[in-house]
Structure 1
Amino acid sequence: MNFSKPAALLLLGALACTAVQASETYTYDSSPILGFGGGPGVEFTFAFTVPVALADGSYNFADPSELPAGFSYVATDGYLTLTDNAGLFGVSGPQLTIAGGQVTSYAFYVQDLSSPPSAIYGYPTFYAAKLTGQPADNVQLTDPSNPNIVGFDYTDGSGVDQHVPTADRGDADASGFWTVGTIAGSVPENGSLALMSLGSALLLALSRRAGRAR
């Protein structure tokens, strides 16, 4: 087949016309939890991803309608990982406040609601909160799958010994911190799709014309 140079250039140009669509991920690292119930290396991360960067303001984790469509999240301590199928919610007051593109206050739970909770320690939970004006954050981690959590023993009302695997930030522990990262991806613009169709049609017409000329 013989293709004309202008038609080929048109098709290549259409293929090159893409729009960059970036998603934003806000990642919380609890830092090691060494206080009451903590053990060596006990910490977790929580990553909250939205299709576009969050505008300055406050967002309510307890009300998904206040969050951008298409958001996702994952929390893990290296033993237990909770994703979008888990329960994400906040406490009273603004749960995620953004100022200057950075997280300035927060309060959230991520809980595994897929199985009946323990009567002692409830659902496996990742929790962190630091509201405006507080000098440090409050962090709790309840994870029966994490052997690094020391927890404490408890005798219930029936005289049965129970172990409560829980870690709670101590006063001397370092606060958690947030990092913000952008993930870029490319998707064809609507105009690009139209150009691609036009270029393909032109190339097909030219190839047929060349075939008839032989």
Structure 2
Amino acid sequence: MTAVSALWQAALVLGGGTLLALVYKGFDRKLAARMQGRIGPPIRQPFLDLGKLLVKETVVPRTAVRWVFNLMPFLALVAAGTVLLYLPVGPFAPVLSGYGDVIVVLYLLALPAIAMALGGFASGSPYGVVGAQRELVMLMSYEFPLAVVVVALAWRVAELGAGPAFSLATLAGNPLWAQVGPLGVLGLALLLVALLVVTPAELSKIPFDIPEAETEIAGGLM
């Protein structure tokens, strides 16, 4: 892959990922509203919110460590975007294939939560500190099960000799359901259950949304 084609593919992946994320958020809010008997915002509302966010004034608390407070959201965004570049999209190889493996992806998945916690601590606000503490507690609760799932899958792929065990492309290209016995299927089912529990935690969805305090008086990330 040439540098130019890699840049084009990276731009398409990041742009497509951002578009799908905003559309998903719109459908998510619409569905939640309908389940609560409300009309809810339009599906395009996340796009409008993003536009408003980009033109808002940046307010930094007087007690904040300014450079840390300003850097952490950017670091979280870069880490989340970098994860997309490790994912194989259809027949195309990942943009960053050969520059890391699923272990790097695990670190990148943890980095946004760590960055937001550091930003909360750097705000100098007691509310920010509470939110940061909650974020770190949640991080410790879901990162270990996620690592166990990944290591278990990689261990099985290594036994099959299908390629680099910790490569996302290898894991995606070698479904294990047809290559294990009954006990193996049971083990994979347990890993799937663990992954289904971990995924909402990674996305800070209910009931793993305590850092955002959505059910408390103070709305938004504390």
Q: What is the TM-score of this pair, normalised by structure 2?
A: 0.20
Q: Between the two structures, name the one with larger relative contact order (CA 8 Å, sep ≥ 6).
A: 1
**Higher fraction of helix:** 2
TM-score by length of 1: 0.21
